[in-house]
Amino acid sequence: MFGLVPYRRNIQQVQPLFDFENIFENFFNDSFFPALMPNAGVMNVDIKDTDNAYILEADIPGVNKENIRVEFKNDQLTIGVEHNEQHEEKKENYIRKERSLNIISRTFVFENIDSEKITARYENGVLTVTLPKKEAHSNGYRIPIS
């Protein structure tokens, strides 16, 4: 029979400069300039597990604090970023305007979190979210025998 190999788009391969056979598929599905912006649309995140809390640090450089959304619902922490840029250049015979809108969202599942004590801080392009763990309470008790 035929030897089928799974297709993985993100594998780093040497590709010809112009792939005319798949030009429309690549145009609509891939980053337009993958070599120039290899991490476009990526939010790098580190999560630390301490005794009392989880500490999440997300790299979000060049974004205003007002464009970051942090929500915690149903044991899920969602970080959303909307970054809107507009460039305008005017010279003698032409005007060039460029606009771009980047929306990135990541969701993480955390169990046993005290949601009322979650804090978030954005400083120097790094979003730090502290998710305190619920204190372990014993639901059981000793039953006396009569």
pLDDT single digits (tens) 99-127:
888 888 999 999 999 989 999 999 999 99
pLDDT single digits (tens) 8-58:
555 555 555 555 555 555 554 544 444 444 445 678 999 999 999 999 999
Q: Which domains does the chain have, with CATH numbers?
A: 42-132 (2.60.40.790)
Phi-psi region of 40 (alpha: psi -120 to 50; beta: other; left: phi over 0): beta
Distance between CA 72 and CA 53 in Å, rounded? Answer: 15
> What is the model's pTM?
0.61
Number of helices (H), then strands (E), belonging to the chain: the values are 1, 7
